Structure 1
């Protein structure tokens, strides 16, 4: 027994190390993907959607608080890939880790469920996980860069705003997508045709809507509503993420609905579009899922009640005599 316990104790640090390395790799890869498309506001370069925050929060929700060293390690590798780190790297690592950790703690305190099957869960993710918790990461990171002299203090608020919104969009778009992906099931054969139609429709409609000079971004919403009504989060969140990625590409290229706009106008228009996408997909799907679960619960309760009544009815009749099955049998029983 002592030998078994010793082996388990030896494996535990190794398991933590592998888990931290896996989380760091996912965080770093997501950050590099986000940095492929950048915008500049007041001389500061930022990503409109910072997917690393969404990856970090998803890892915390699935793996628990013990994975936070992997988040800090991934943030360090990401900073290292951008240049030689200075003393300010400590503040960056603290901000990058503190935001997702605060989001995790607040969501856990609020009774958040990762299946996002309730409207309450969607609202908690929006207001606690994204809007509130990302205030911490944005504030710590921007203050650190200002104190290090890498950002102008006169532009603190515009830079802080775009930093906060980018982190929040990462949570709103990436975290639900990853949570849905982990719990996804294969669609039934009867729904393959509709699934294929949704994929083809998204592949055709979203690029047209985001790159059209007619400013046709609104065309994405009927597709998003269809996905939410028929597939709930499993359909709406991939559509929202795909639309956000295509809109970000169009914004950074300055084409479509973003033609001729200043950097600030591009940022504002893009983030309003991303935010409305995320809220529509997340909250509408949560409402539909909650109503469906309520209906199933009512149907199950009715079935149990019917079985209980049938069981009681069977006990009300004497042994050897079957209960009447129809109106004629009941009338005959009454006449007798």
Structure 2
């Protein structure tokens, strides 16, 4: 149903495009005939040529049926003969099709973003295509009207000039504004554009709409140049093409009516002079507008590059600061946390060596127990430091394979038996069935070891630690729950931040550096998973890890 509706909407949109293109062509043609010089069929300014070329460049060859309909309606409205109507239809379709083909073949950008695009539009669209199609149009006119062969050359020249001028005036104007949205400009830019356009219209009306300005006042035609330059520099190709359009319409109407600096005893010569002036003015303005567009685009690109460089420098600076924090934190661990267990080792060793003969077996056993605990702390700390160093240097490779979670947890629980038996803690493993998933077994061992070690460290003697497993559509959810001393909200916020040390003693005065949880976080990042810590003071902590399925 949705597909059918989409197809229907597409057809309606296409039909509306054809209707609009037909109306545009017909209306522009009626305007163009007001400049007709020979039997109302040859015009020195033929706007439909530019409109048709722009439509084909924007919408593709599929818009040609709309142009054809506009040409047929025009022929019917003018009461043209069948021969002339047929030839006119062929030429009106062939010219934009040929022009668009040549332009696309030579890499023309319809956004007119380069100066070469201006020359391509003029040489291929406004010269080559009209020169060729004018032959067909001239042949049609000469055959259908049965005029003298000697007049055909004038008709050919007039047909070519009219189509070329229509393309130069209309095609850039339509291409420049195609796809423009209201939000592309700010309010003050719209106001400036209106002021510029209004000033240009007033000056052009004064120059080309006044009986007192005749052919001996042709320098006055250049009064439009300040506004033309303003439009080109401030509004790029859009401004230049709009200014050309306004000047061309007003100047052509004024010249036909005998007004302005190009008025002459012959309308033909007047329009011919105007044609040359407008052609030179249009090319100059379009080049200036394109140059302004290139300059503005380069400035925007430069600002974006500068912004990206500043962002990159900021990111690198933050990264370096983070590395400095990590370095300072590691030095702090090495200088303080690693030294303390060694002091205990040395202290209790000295007691045993110095007073061995006077110590009882129970005292020696107690001192050896302290030495064992200190050695275990040193080993755990060094192991975590090595893991952290390998992760940060990228030497700890991520190699996921299919593992069975239950057996992995059982292995870690067995290794930690001395720790939790010493505190008379019971570990309840709630994973009964075999659960297979993809993980790095070495990293998984480090993860479970650190989480269980924390749970044992902060659990009270004689308490329980639960291991639970759940799953949803996206994750395998492992929970390790203890009922120990817990943490406050402020303490939880300090977790996973190496620059904020969180040192907390266990229930048996065990030392903690917070490095283990940082390693767990890095491991879960490698697995594209998550780790969540929930805790309340005096009620315990739940560590939840989510492995993507």
Superposed pair shares fold, TM > 0.5? yes
1:101 matches 2:106: no
1:55 matches 2:66: no
Cα distance in 2, alignment partners of residues 12 and 184 from structure 1? 21
Other-structure match for 2:207? 209
Other-structure match for 1:327? none
Among candidates 27, 30, 38, match of residue 29 of structure 1: 27
1:228 matches 2:232: yes
Cα distance in 2, alignment partners of residues 196 and 264 from structure 1? 33
Indicate the SS of the match to 1:304: helix
Segments of 5+ residues of structure 1 without an aligned counterpart are: 323-336
Cα distance in 2, alignment partners of residues 22 and 255 from structure 1? 33
Does the CA-based 8 Å contact 2:258-2:267 persist in structure 1?
no
Cα distance in 1, alignment partners of residues 19 and 191 from structure 2? 40
- Give TM-score, length-normalised by structure 2: 0.54
Does the CA-based 8 Å contact 1:115-1:180 persist in structure 2?
yes
Other-structure match for 2:138? 142
Does the CA-based 8 Å contact 1:98-1:136 persist in structure 2?
no
Residue 7 to residue 138, structure 1, CA distance change in 2 (3 Å): same
Q: Deviations over 1:126-165 (max 9, x none)?
A: 1111111112321111112223344432122222111111
Other-structure match for 1:165? 161
Report the alpha carbon displacement of residue 14 of structure 1 after superposing the two structures with TM: 6.0
Q: Deviations over 1:301-334 (max 9, x none)?
A: 2222232233334434543289xxxxxxxxxxxx
Among candidates 295, 302, 307, match of residue 298 of structure 1: 302
Other-structure match for 2:127? 131
Alignment of 1:1-336 (within 5 A): 16-35=14-33, 37-40=34-37, 45-186=41-182, 187-210=185-208, 211=210, 212-213=213-214, 214-215=217-218, 216-317=220-321, 318-320=323-325
Indicate the SS of the match to 2:324: coil
Segments of 5+ residues of structure 2 without an aligned counterpart are: 328-549
Bigger shift: residues 290-299 or 221-230: 290-299
Cα distance in 2, alignment partners of residues 183 and 7 from structure 1? 25
Residue 65 to residue 286, structure 1, CA distance change in 2 (3 Å): same
Does the CA-based 8 Å contact 1:116-1:286 persist in structure 2?
yes
User: Which structure has greater strand proportion?
Assistant: 2
Report the alpha carbon displacement of residue 100 of structure 1 after superposing the two structures with TM: 0.5
| Structure whose alpha-carbon radius of gyration is higher | 2
Cα distance in 2, alignment partners of residues 200 and 6 from structure 1? 48
Cα distance in 2, alignment partners of residues 20 and 236 from structure 1? 28
Residue 188 to residue 252, structure 1, CA distance change in 2 (3 Å): same
Report the alpha carbon displacement of residue 231 of structure 1 after superposing the two structures with TM: 1.5
Does the CA-based 8 Å contact 1:130-1:168 persist in structure 2?
yes
Cα distance in 1, alignment partners of residues 78 and 231 from structure 2? 38
Cα distance in 2, alignment partners of residues 63 and 8 from structure 1? 19
Cα distance in 2, alignment partners of residues 309 and 131 from structure 1? 52
Does the CA-based 8 Å contact 1:135-1:164 persist in structure 2?
yes
Cα distance in 2, alignment partners of residues 24 and 205 from structure 1? 33
Residue 313 to residue 136, structure 1, CA distance change in 2 (3 Å): same
- More contact order relative to length (CA 8 Å, sep ≥ 6): 1
Say what the alpha-carbon RMSD is for the aligned residues. 2.6
Residue 321 to residue 17, structure 1, CA distance change in 2 (3 Å): closer
Other-structure match for 2:500? none
Residue 7 to residue 189, structure 1, CA distance change in 2 (3 Å): closer
Does the CA-based 8 Å contact 2:32-2:43 persist in structure 1?
yes
Bigger shift: residues 261-270 or 153-162: 261-270
Report the alpha carbon displacement of residue 52 of structure 1 after superposing the two structures with TM: 0.8
